[in-house]
Amino acid sequence: MGFKKQQIIGKIIVNVALAILCIIWTIPTLGLLVSSFRPENDVKNSGWWTVFAPGREREGPTFTLANYRAVLLGKEMTYTNAQGEEVQASGDNLGNAFLNSLAVTLPSTVIPILIAAFAAYGFAWMSFPGRRFLFIVVVALLVVPLQIALIPILRDYTKLDLNGTFLAIWLAHTGFGLPLATYLLYNYISNLPRDILESAFMDGASHFTTFTRLILPLSVPALASFAIFQFLWVWNDLLVALVFIGSKPEVAVLTQRLQEMVGSRGQDWHLLTAGAFITMILPLVVFFSLQRYFVRGLLAGSVKG
């Protein structure tokens, strides 16, 4: 009885600690969300928590979508400054940058997944000279920081006239993401039941048919897990975008535009918070859509049988 009591107390302590950590991480995000819907004067004159202050419900909280219209669509804003004068200012129009981020992130996620899946299948189920050595090279690339490759790649892109194009950043993110993708998918694919593949080979299936009809459907958890990692990394990337896209406004991604807003609108918290949440919407949708595969993918290859 004493042992069960200790287990119950241990679970309660763990759950309480996790709840506290979740609250600590959530409060700043909640503050950003509330601030993104508040008018400029309210943001500058009072804290976001005053929205939940006692008696506030009688006054009625003031919320507006003007911040999002200004940031996403570039609409002009009219507000009253500290001197009581009405001032008009133009928005930032992040809509084009949002589409650019999609154009960069989707191919940079799909391409390495496809290449790595083929490579992982080859390392796991095909025999060819140098297989073990090549796999060791792939694993060794995991510890190579991408920063040391930026300048050499940039020089090559300059010679090929690829700087400032989507193709340049697709290739860069594909190269940087392939080692992790190959290793993760190899761990999963190599532990699939051998009997299934042997039955397919006995029925005359080729390696390509086996890969497309069996391996890919069975590897959905690992594929989804890496897709989350790669999507979040590419979507939130600033360094690679700055190096290979540069200062071209027509192909600038959200992180670049948000950095520009921090420099030009450092005091406009109502706009910065709205811009921050625009960058967060799609990653949150992707994560929660693929969440059921996330843990299974993380444990890929860790348990046999």
pLDDT of 211 = 85
d(CA 160, CA 26): 46
Which parts of the chain register pLDDT below 70?
A: 1-3, 54-61, 74-92, 265-266, 294-305
d(CA 282, CA 235): 9
pLDDT tens-place string over residues 115-136: 999 999 889 888 888 888 998 8
Residue recorded with tokens 């080729």: 206
Q: Residues 34, 244: contact at Cβ < 8 Å?
A: no
pLDDT of 303 = 45
pLDDT tens-place string over residues 228-252: 889 989 999 988 988 888 777 788 8
pLDDT of 110 = 93
Helix (H) or strand (E) holding 79: strand 77-80
Question: What is the C-alpha end-to-end distance of the chain, expressed in Å?
Answer: 34
DSSP code, position 253: -
d(CA 165, CA 273): 29
Q: Which residues of 93-128 are buried (b: 16+ CB within 10 A; e: fewer)?
A: ebeebbebbeebbebbbebbbebbbbbbbbbbbeee
| Domains along the chain with CATH numbers | 2-89 (no CATH), 95-298 (1.10.3720.10)
DSSP code, position 211: I
Structure tokens, 58: 């009688």
pLDDT of 214 = 84
